[in-house]
Amino acid sequence: MTQLDALVQPIFDAVLQRNPGEVEFHQAAREVFESLGRVISKHPQYAEASILERICEPERQIIFRVPWVDDDGRVQINRGFRVEFNSALGPYKGGLRFHPSVYLGTIKFLGFEQVFKNALTGMPIGGGKGGSDFDPKGRSDAEVMRFCQSFMTELYRHIGEYTDVPAGDIGVGGREIGYLFGQYKRITNRYESAVLTGKGIGWGGSLVRTEATGYGATIFADEMLKTRGDSFDGKRVLVSGSGNVALYAIQKVQQLGGKVVGCSDSTGVVYDETGVDLELLRQVKEIDRGRLSDYAHYRGAASDYRPGGNIWSIAESTRVDVALPCATQNELDGADAAALVAGGVLAVAEGANMPSTPDAVRVFTEAGVLFGPGKAANAGGVATSALEMQQNASRDSWSFEHTEQRLEEIMRGIHERCAETADEYDEPGNYVLGANIAGFTRVADAMLAFGVI
């Protein structure tokens, strides 16, 4: 672990003490703190106003009961969360995650990351995150609908176009946003389009929002490659996951001339030497809501399916140029990073939130691998959510081409902001440092202007 600066160590110690057991939140906070020592010593006004202490304490945390009735008539109870972390730059903005592993520490780590990510986009959005320990796997549409209705029956009083604007994350896609929006509209008797993003195209959604996170992460990787005069053309790529982010990362890699040779889900890995068949994968995952094993079944001899496998170990036996972790937190550890380095990896861009462990980040950095941290590389999703809010506010809808062009400009802007900030601190190419400092200073300066609130 990198030593923390003496100025920030006591503040970090207090974060540990105030948030016991929330290990993912500790990890996310530490990663940001590692970058901030020099900023705090260079700009004493941040320490004088206790900005760091305040930024680690969410403005509001809501935890609620979500009762619902399953298809067998049994009452089920889940726990709902919304952590409204920071509204210095705009309404709280960030997704909802439905996954059985969700607890307060998950939502706080995601909310904390979101604050800096949203700041990096340069758009007027604060940071928040929510979700539930509800497991949508194996549940009927009717069960998912009843769960979403119950969840919104509590959440509606805390959100709003100018207050807090949730969206999707793991386990929350177009279907869930539809049920949530329907219930919000019904309870409030308001057609408040911009209260949620990721909506369907026919009822206030934005073109490109579905593709935005995966496209954006790939564009970020492409920008990093360009700094070394390189591109995706002919590159061999691994994309972990096979959900929303992974699918559209795969699509963009293919558009840019790369070949995706492997992807995964929580139960297995596919190694596809001839390249992943995206149309088949989308049919299986998006339409049939199936498993990766179903994809492998239809693909036959063309793919090698490894139940329970580790996608990064593919790099032990074949060359991998680019890795795009797009599944979940801490899915890529130090040994995986070493395998990727041995396999020749040039660039890693995080489509997921905090997928690389601190050990993995160290291995990549020491090996000189281009490394784009999630808060920069996966910001295209939330940025396009902000574009959706913009369209809703002006009662307009933009073409796919126009929206995609805006996304590309935003991703290039984020890359530039991170690179310039890293240069300014004499660490050229250190995107982790650049992202943390550029995101932090934008939020911190607004907080300074507002006084002690």
Catalytic positions are 129
Q: Which residue is nearest to ligand 2IT (CB)?
A: 95
- Considering only 50-58, 324-332, 378-386, 435-443, which stretch makes contact with ligand 2IT by CB under 6 A? 378-386
* Residue numbers 378-397 binding ligand NDP by CB under 6 A: 378, 381
Residue whose CB is less far from ligand NDP, 159 or 377 = 377
Q: Which amino acid is at 234?
A: G
The pattern of x and - marking residues 168 through 197 that bind ligand NDP according to CB under 6 A reads xxxx--------------------------
Indicate whether 267 belongs to the interface with ligand NDP (CB under 6 A): yes
- 79: which 2 tokens? 């726990």
* Residue numbers 128-147 binding ligand 2IT by CB under 6 A: none
- Considering only 185-193, 220-228, 261-269, 441-449, which stretch makes contact with ligand NDP by CB under 6 A? 261-269
Indicate whether 325 belongs to the interface with ligand NDP (CB under 6 A): no
Indicate whether 265 belongs to the interface with ligand NDP (CB under 6 A): yes
Using CB under 6 A, which of 22, 24, 143, 169 touches ligand 2IT?
169
- Considering only 40-48, 224-232, 244-252, 362-370, which stretch makes contact with ligand NDP by CB under 6 A? 244-252
Indicate whether 311 belongs to the interface with ligand NDP (CB under 6 A): no
Using CB under 6 A, which of 363, 382, 410, 411 touches ligand 2IT?
382
Residue whose CB is less far from ligand NDP, 133 or 169 = 169
Indicate whether 327 belongs to the interface with ligand NDP (CB under 6 A): yes
Indicate whether 381 belongs to the interface with ligand 2IT (CB under 6 A): yes
- Considering only 29-37, 252-260, 295-303, 351-359, which stretch makes contact with ligand NDP by CB under 6 A? 351-359
Q: Which does 244 bind (CB under 5 to 8 A by kind): ligand NDP, ligand 2IT, none?
A: ligand NDP
Shortest distance, CB of residue 259 to ligand NDP, whole angstroms? 20
* Residue numbers 69-108 binding ligand 2IT by CB under 6 A: 93-95
Q: Which does 245 bind (CB under 5 to 8 A by kind): ligand NDP, ligand 2IT, none?
A: ligand NDP
- 41: which 2 tokens? 């010593």
Shortest distance, CB of residue 388 to ligand NDP, whole angstroms? 11
383 contacts: CB under 8 Å, gap ≥ 6: 121, 123, 212, 216, 407, 410, 411
The site for ligand 2IT, by CB under 6 A, has a size of 12
* Nearest residue to 93 (alpha-carbon basis) of 117, 68, 67: 117
Indicate whether 261 belongs to the interface with ligand NDP (CB under 6 A): no
Using CB under 6 A, which of 29, 167, 348, 422 touches ligand 2IT?
167
Length of the chain: 453
The pattern of x and - marking residues 23 through 52 that bind ligand NDP according to CB under 6 A reads ------------------------------
- Considering only 185-193, 236-244, 250-258, 415-423, which stretch makes contact with ligand NDP by CB under 6 A? 236-244
Residue with tokens 């963009």: 252
Can you tell me the distance from the alpha carbon of 47 to that of 15, in angstroms, rounded to the nearest whole number?
Answer: 16
3-state SS string for the chain: CCCCCCCCHHHHHHHHHHCCCCHHHHHHHHHHHHHHHHHHHHCHHHHHCCHHHHHCCCCEEEEEEEEEECCCCCEEEEEEEEEEEECCCCCEEEEEEECCCCCHHHHHHHHHHHHHHHHHCCCCCCEEEEEECCCCCCCCHHHHHHHHHHHHHHHHHHCECCCEEEECECCECHHHHHHHHHHHHHHHCCCCHHHCCCCCHHHCCCCCHHHHHHHHHHHHHHHHHHCCCCCCCCCEEEEECCCHHHHHHHHHHHHCCCEEEEEEECCEEEECCCCCCHHHHHHHHHHCCCCHHHHHHHHHHHCEEEECCCHHHHHHCCCCCEEEECCCCCCECHHHHHHHHHCCCCEEECCCCCCECHHHHHHHHHCCCEEECHHHHCCHHHHHHHHHHHHHHCCCCCCHHHHHHHHHHHHHHHHHHHHHHHHHCCCCCCHHHHHHHHHHHHHHHHHHHHCCC
Indicate whether 245 belongs to the interface with ligand NDP (CB under 6 A): yes
Q: Are 382 and 94 in contact (CB under 8 A)?
A: yes
Shortest distance, CB of residue 385 to ligand 2IT, whole angstroms? 3
- 396: which 2 tokens? 């307009």
Indicate whether 268 belongs to the interface with ligand 2IT (CB under 6 A): no
State how far Cα 196 lies from the chain centre: 17
Shortest distance, CB of residue 412 to ligand NDP, whole angstroms? 18
Contact residues for ligand NDP, defined by CB under 6 A:
168-171, 213, 241-246, 265-267, 326-328, 331, 351-353, 378, 381
Q: Which residues bind ligand 2IT (CB under 6 A)?
A: 93-95, 114, 117, 167, 169, 197, 353, 381-382, 385
